[in-house]
Amino acid sequence: MANEFVKKVAEEKYKFGFTTDIDTEIIDKGLSEDVIRLISSKKNEPDWLLEFRLKSFNFWKEQTSPSWGHLTLPDIDYQDISYYADPTKKKQGSETKEIDPELMKTFDKLGIPLEERMALSGMAVDAVMDSVSVKTTFKEKLAEKNIIFCSISEAVRNHPDLVRKYLGSVVPYRDNYFAALNSAVFSDGSFVYIPANTRCPMELSTYFRINARNTGQFERTLIVCESNSYVSYLEGCTAPMRDENQLHAAIVEIVVMDNAEVKYSTVQNWYPGDENGKGGVLNLVTKRGRLIGHHSKLSWTQVETGSAITWKYPSCVLEGDDSQAEFYSVAVTNNHQQADTGTKMIHLGKRTKSTIISKGISAGRSENSYRGLVKIGKHADGARNYSSCDSLLLGSKCGAHTFPYMDIQNNTATVEHEATTSKISEDQLLYCRQRGINTEDAVGLIVNGYAKEVLNKLPMEFAVEAQKLLSVSLEGSVG
Amino acid sequence: MSEQQYIDFYTQCRNLIMSKSCGVMNDVREKAFKRFKTVGFPSRKSERYKYTDVDKAFQTDFGILFTPLGITPSAYIFSLKDAPADVRPYYNRLADQHDGITLLNTMLAHECLLIYVPADTKVEKPLTVDNWIKGEVPSMMNRRILVVMEKGADATIIVNDHATDKQEFLTTQVIEVYCHDNAHLDLYEIEETTPLTKRFSNVYIHQQPYASVRHSVITLHNGLTRNLCDVILNGEFSETTLNGCAIGSGKQHIDNNTLIRHNAAHCTSNELYKYVVDDQAVGAFAGKILVEKGAQQTSSQETNNNLCASPSARMYSQPMLEIYADDVKCSHGSTTGVLDETALFYMRQRGIAEEEARMLLKNAFLGQVIDQIDYEPLRSKIFVKVEKRFLGEMEKCKTCNLCK
Amino acid sequence: MLEIKNLHASINGKEILKGVDLTINDGEIHALMGTNGAGKSTLCKVIVGDPAYEVTDGTIRFNGQDLLSMKTEERANAGIFMSFQHPIEIPGVSMANFLKAAVNAKRQAMGLEPMKASAFLSMMREKRKIVAMDSKLINRSVNEGFSGGERKRNEIFQMAMLEPSFCILDETDSGLDVDALRIVAEGFNKLRKPDTSAIVITHYQRLLDYITPNQVHVLLDGRIVKTGDASLARVIEEKGFDWIKDEI
């Protein structure tokens, strides 16, 4: 009885923590040129891509893991990880492309039905498990508008020119340690191409799932939005509860042309580890967009509740005149989670405008840092930035930190930054409790109110999910 | 690497320095030297020296000056040599033993000015320290000041920094301040030097319960300036205010770096730094408020406002909060921008010429910091100097009497 | 005194004034009425030279001078004063310093020596009585912490200090209670010389009960569509603007 009860509680806390029992083809642990050649050959990649991977790998070997974050990163043994796991290969030599019912069930359980008739209205999904894209829905319907939405492996095969043109054009492989690693071993992810003068008729979404043991996920997403076009893209992630850390080092690249607009939303709910800090995903991600076109727009919205460690700075390079960028973030850390997250806004074009709204919530023994850079280049006349970073502390054993960097090289620019750190208001708690709401629900309520500005930026389906997540993530943090 | 010349110099001259100095300073000298040999000068990669190239600043082959202290007889100002035995151990206790500049100062300084205010003593008139540096060759000076405020002591200290404009000078300065229970100190540092002057100042302040300290650093005219100020609030209900006011033009460089560490509960800290950077001047502000576990009921506000007045001026702003206690109210704000166009228009509608309106607004902008100077004669003096500075009447340090 | 011909002006590329013609002779008071957004404030801001607005066509002559070629402060020193609808706060700039700079700028333009500090202070003392301004307010920064009514009073006080020949009152009555309105309006009347001209923008008759206009203009969609005598304001107070729209 007691065991059952414990199990139930644990599952409620992280309800995505189940594992899928499925035959998965996993290559041997370890990282070397041979492993990279193996991954590349498994995916039947062209030579230029293999070269790109090898160049990245050689660069990565010479680098050391960055240490500037306010994080205690465990020593990662890169030779103790498998870099490729394919749950779609049932048996060796099997040619059928039928999806294993187990996989369908897994994604159903995650609330991501892969059958189009059951799908959420107005949303196309690319489902990625471990290293491979399982299925992309509504591909044909999108193709009618010449929109390409497929896995990146498929894009390499079917649209090599586009991939070759843009891959690494936003995040070069030399950008940082984890970007180099990803560039060497990246497996799957999504590719989105919106042609000129096209408004994407549905939300595009990728769902990432880590399942296999001792594997890392190295997804790569590339979004190109041509002139006068629009797309809204969502990303969701979960992983099973495992005692060991799982490595996730992704790259997202976005290119936005004249008058185009891209909205990128993330609800990140990788397994955060248990109450004692055991296990959990190491989420080490490089996300960046280039606003190449004039009057282009890019907005990042992220709700970060999962992962043992989050190291992530979705950034914008505002190159085009009058381009606009936004970063809206809620990061919740509990127990032993550590997050060092924020953004970079690099203003190069004239009259460029950026807004940063960051809400950090720390509980338990967690560490939660905002780190951001606002840089105004010499020629960015009339550029404007407004940043507001608030931190909320629940409990006296956690930490909340704010590290903004501002570098202004233009005298017509206006840069404003404000930050506050405070604890949850006793008055608000009392008020809720007097109205009969228990402390835990009251905290959930207040935190949701606190994060509302960001949650409002999410598409409907995600917003509801995100609200629930915030409350669940903070369970047991006050009392 | 330019540290080598200082290592060589010390190796050759240690006996000379020691002979000019006193026991308490010589006792820590060798240790500082050993550490300096290992850590050297901080590079721009180290978080607290991101904005100033230390190595480059020290490259010149400076002659090292061993000017004796000229002390006007006072009940509170001494040379550390003559200090009572129980005061001497304060020396070098607060100074950061990992900071290359502090280590260099500790190894080269031959004299230390001691300001000692006994318990429950209120010093009515400000204690003034005038530093000036002159010489026919590039010269370096290593200043050291120790301030001990006993329980309930109350004083105002003004440190003026001047230099003649003929030569390249570099000063390192380390000020250590101990404020015991209920003591109050107002410490002003005013720099009016020349474009050829480089200044590296490290101030360390330690506060006991109910102690209050206000430190204001005003850079009116300079070459390259790097001011570091570290405060430890070690007793409950202590209060710190750090203010800074900087005017940069030409190729001037002004870098203020602060750290306020809240170690005890119920403490308050406030910071206000304002910069006006013109021409190709570079301004940098980095300030961290660190609230340690258990420092509940901390209240802290950090503000940095900057005006960039020319297309080639550059401003770095980095206000930081690092917080490990939950019952706190901490905030920071930073703005960098242009003069308020609406205010400018309003003034011009009243007939005030644009240039004058701009100057009035710049004065008003810095006025918020200067208004906080408690000692009235100094406040008026700084107001006048700031105005003159904006009028271009202070291109050199010619307004001060000391350099004539 | 003021002659506006075919004035077109825009802000951020949007045309607000679409051909305004208006002549104001010495000693005349002209009331300007119209719906919100009709361009009343824009017209005033263009006259005083707000750099935010771009004049795309037309001319303004002030006592024979080409006003549009003059800087904002030159126009002010030539005698144009505007009482702003929303006077701005200027933290850190004291009222005294601010007005001293303004008064001396005007004196310099007239070829006079700067005023001595003592003379200036007694002038401030004297003038503030006209609008019953609290001396405490004079010691603060410009408009800092002033209530809406205090700001309006401060505008008329500044007018007293600068003795303009042409005044623009942009909704000076808004936000004032009956007593404050009387003080401000009577202050204006006291300061006015026989040849002082003015544009008065208002939505209400009550200000015009104190300051009787020679002419009333109705500005709609960037043009003056109707002109009449003081009685027109009373008709508008009663019937609004719709009937005028119907007429045109």
Q: What is the pLDDT of residues B86-125, one digit of tens each?
A: 899 999 999 999 999 999 999 999 999 999 999 999 999 9
Closest CB to B364 among C77, C82, C91: C91
The structure tokens listed for B195 are 């474009």
pLDDT at B350 over 80: yes
User: Which helix (H) or strand (E) covers residue A122, if one does?
Assistant: none
pLDDT at position A477, please?
A: 65
B361 with C93: Cβ contact below 8 A: yes
A-chain CB neighbours of B327 within 8 Å are 396, 423
Q: Cα(B8)–Cα(B109) distance, rounded to whole angstroms?
A: 16
Q: Which of B349, B355, B362 to mutate to test the interface with C (most CBs of C within 10 A)?
A: B349
- Which amino acid type is present at position C38? A
Give the DSSP per-residue string, B332-356.
EEEEEE---HHHHHHHHHTT--HHH
B356 with C48: Cβ contact below 8 A: no
Shortest distance, CA B175 to any CA of chain A (angstroms)? 27
pLDDT at B200 over 80: yes
How many CA atoms lie less than 13 Å away from B40 in the CB half-sphere?
13
Locate the chain C residue with the closest alpha carbon to B340: C90
Q: How many residues are present in chain C?
A: 248
Q: Which of B272, B307, B348 to mutate to test the interface with C (most CBs of C within 10 A)?
A: B348
Q: How many residues are present in chain B?
A: 404
Query: Environment class of residue A417 by beta-carbon count within 10 Å: exposed (0-12), middle (13-18) or buried (19+)?
Result: buried
Q: Cα(C59)–Cα(C57) distance, rounded to whole angstroms?
A: 7
Q: Cα(A347)–Cα(A298) distance, rounded to whole angstroms?
A: 13
Closest CB to B364 among C71, C90, C102: C90
Tell me, yes or no, if B390 comes closer than 8 A to chain C by beta carbon.
Answer: no
Contacting chains of C (3 CB pairs or more, <8 Å) are B
Three-state DSSP state, B7: helix
Closest CB to B342 among C48, C88, C98: C88
B-chain CB neighbours of A443 within 8 Å are none
CA angle C157, B362, B244 (to 5 degrees): 125
Three-state DSSP state, C109: helix
Query: Is the distance from CB of C207 to CB of C185 less than 8 angstroms?
Result: yes
Closest CB to B326 among A396, A403, A420: A396
Average pLDDT over residues A165-188: 92
Q: Which DSSP category does A78 fall into?
A: G
Q: Which of C11, C45, C74, C90 to mutate to test the interface with B (most CBs of B within 10 A)?
A: C90
Shortest distance, CA C81 to any CA of chain B (angstroms)? 7
Q: Which of C11, C50, C73 to mutate to test the interface with B (most CBs of B within 10 A)?
A: C73
- Which amino acid type is present at position B396? K
B154's CB contacts (< 8 A; 6+ apart) are B117, B121, B122, B123, B183, B184, B185
- Strand-pair partners of B127: B157
pLDDT at C95 over 90: no
pLDDT at position A478, please?
A: 58
- CB pairs A-B closer than 8 Å: 117
ipTM of this complex > 0.90? Answer: no
Three-state DSSP state, A444: helix
Closest CB to A416 among B311, B324, B335: B335
Query: Is the distance from CB of A370 to CB of A378 less than 8 angstroms?
Result: no
Tell me, yes or no, if B391 comes closer than 8 A to chain C by beta carbon.
Answer: no
Residue with tokens 């110099």: B9
pLDDT at position B15, please?
A: 93
Q: What's the pTM value of the predicted model, to 2 decimals? A: 0.83
pLDDT (tens digit, 9 = 90+) per residue, A181-240?
999 999 888 899 999 999 998 888 888 777 777 777 888 999 999 999 999 998 886 666
Distance of CA B237 to the CA centre of its chain: 24
pLDDT at A406 over 90: yes
Closest CB to A408 among B293, B314, B321: B314
The structure tokens listed for A9 are 């509680």
Least reliable range by pLDDT among A430-439, B10-19, B355-364: A430-439
The structure tokens listed for A28 are 């041997």
Closest CB to B346 among C88, C105, C109: C88
The structure tokens listed for B35 are 């550490």
pLDDT at position A479, please?
A: 46
Cβ contact B–C (≥3 pairs, < 8 Å): yes
B-chain CB neighbours of A474 within 8 Å are none
Residue C81's nearest CA partner among C171, C175, C158, C184 is C158
Reported as a pLDDT band with limits 50, 70 and 90, residue A280 is confident
Q: Cα(A438)–Cα(A475) distance, rounded to whole angstroms?
A: 12
Strands B139-149 and B113-117: parallel
- Strand-pair partners of A248: A217, A283
Tell me, yes or no, if A478 comes closer than 8 A to chain B by beta carbon.
Answer: no
Percent of chain C with pLDDT over 70: 100
Q: Does B37 or B402 have the greater pLDDT score?
A: B37
B-chain CB neighbours of C71 within 8 Å are 348, 354
pLDDT at B81 over 80: yes
Average pLDDT over residues B278-292: 94
Reported as a pLDDT band with limits 50, 70 and 90, residue A105 is confident
pLDDT at A35 over 70: yes
Distances (CA, A) of C193 to A47, A101, A473, C169, C190: 89, 94, 74, 16, 8
Cβ contact A–C (≥3 pairs, < 8 Å): no
The structure tokens listed for B23 are 């026991």
| Strand arrangement of the beta sheet that strand C197-201 belongs to | C80-83, C166-170, C197-201, C29-33, C215-220, C223-228
C51 with B341: Cβ contact below 8 A: yes
pLDDT at position B67, please?
A: 80
Query: Environment class of residue B195 by beta-carbon count within 10 Å: exposed (0-12), middle (13-18) or buried (19+)?
Result: middle
Query: Is the distance from CB of A301 to CB of A330 less than 8 angstroms?
Result: no
- Give the domain ranges of chain A: 14-312
B346 with C87: Cβ contact below 8 A: yes
Q: Cα(A104)–Cα(C146) distance, rounded to whole angstroms?
A: 68
Average pLDDT over residues B370-378: 93
Strands C80-83 and B298-308: unpaired
Residue A320's nearest CA partner among A382, A257, A373, A379 is A257
pLDDT at position B95, please?
A: 93
Three-state DSSP state, A208: strand
Closest CB to C76 among B343, B350, B361: B350
Of A438-452, B255-269, C187-201, the range with the highest mean pLDDT is B255-269
Reported as a pLDDT band with limits 50, 70 and 90, residue B218 is very high
CA angle B287, B289, B292 (to 5 degrees): 150
The mean pLDDT of chain A is 84
Q: Cα(C245)–Cα(A4) distance, rounded to whole angstroms?
A: 79
pLDDT at position A1, please?
A: 30
Average pLDDT over residues A77-83: 86
Q: Which DSSP category does C89 fall into?
A: P
Shortest distance, CA B264 to any CA of chain A (angstroms)? 14
Residue with tokens 């003929």: B166
Least reliable range by pLDDT among A108-112, A312-316, B374-378: A108-112
Average pLDDT over residues C194-201: 94
Average pLDDT over residues B31-48: 93
Tell me, yes or no, if A64 comes closer than 8 A to chain B by beta carbon.
Answer: no
Reported as a pLDDT band with limits 50, 70 and 90, residue B401 is very low
C105 with B352: Cβ contact below 8 A: yes
pLDDT at position C141, please?
A: 85
User: Which helix (H) or strand (E) covers residue B353, if one does?
Assistant: none
Q: Cα(B289)–Cα(B303) distance, rounded to whole angstroms?
A: 11
Q: Which DSSP category does A7 fall into?
A: H
pLDDT (tens digit, 9 = 90+) per residue, B111-168?
999 999 999 999 999 999 998 888 888 999 999 999 999 999 999 999 999 888 778 9
Exposure letters B228-267 (e unless 16+ CB within 10 A, then b): bbbbbbbbbbbbbbbbbbbbbbeebbbbbbbbbbbbbbbb
The structure tokens listed for C176 are 């004032």
pLDDT at position A6, please?
A: 34
Shortest distance, CA B255 to any CA of chain A (angstroms)? 13
Contacting chains of B (3 CB pairs or more, <8 Å) are A, C
pLDDT at position B115, please?
A: 95
Q: Cα(B186)–Cα(B178) distance, rounded to whole angstroms?
A: 13
pLDDT at C177 over 90: no
Reported as a pLDDT band with limits 50, 70 and 90, residue A89 is low
Tell me, yes or no, if A410 comes closer than 8 A to chain B by beta carbon.
Answer: yes
C-chain CB neighbours of B367 within 8 Å are 92
Q: Cα(A339)–Cα(A473) distance, rounded to whole angstroms?
A: 14
Angle separating helix axes C148-162 and C95-109, nearest 10 degrees: 30
Of A100-104, B238-242, B361-365, the range with the highest mean pLDDT is B238-242
Shortest distance, CA C23 to any CA of chain B (angstroms)? 22
Average pLDDT over residues C163-176: 90
Shortest distance, CA A264 to any CA of chain B (angstroms)? 28
Q: Cα(B221)–Cα(B250) distance, rounded to whole angstroms?
A: 10
Average pLDDT over residues A404-423: 91
pLDDT (tens digit, 9 = 90+) per residue, B63-73?
888 887 777 77
Query: Is the distance from CB of B96 to CB of B42 less than 8 angstroms?
Result: no
Residue B330's nearest CA partner among A400, A361, A428 is A400
Strands C54-62 and C2-11: antiparallel
The structure tokens listed for C149 are 């009514």
pLDDT at position A93, please?
A: 44
The structure tokens listed for B79 are 């040379």
Reported as a pLDDT band with limits 50, 70 and 90, residue A131 is low
Query: Is the distance from CB of A349 to CB of A294 less than 8 angstroms?
Result: yes
Average pLDDT over residues B176-194: 96
pLDDT at position A3, please?
A: 38
Shortest distance, CA A426 to any CA of chain B (angstroms)? 10
Contacting A residues, span 264-293, partner chain B, CB-CB under 8 Å: none
pLDDT at A260 over 90: yes
The structure tokens listed for A198 are 């096209």
Q: Which domains does chain C have, with CATH numbers?
A: 2-247 (3.40.50.300)
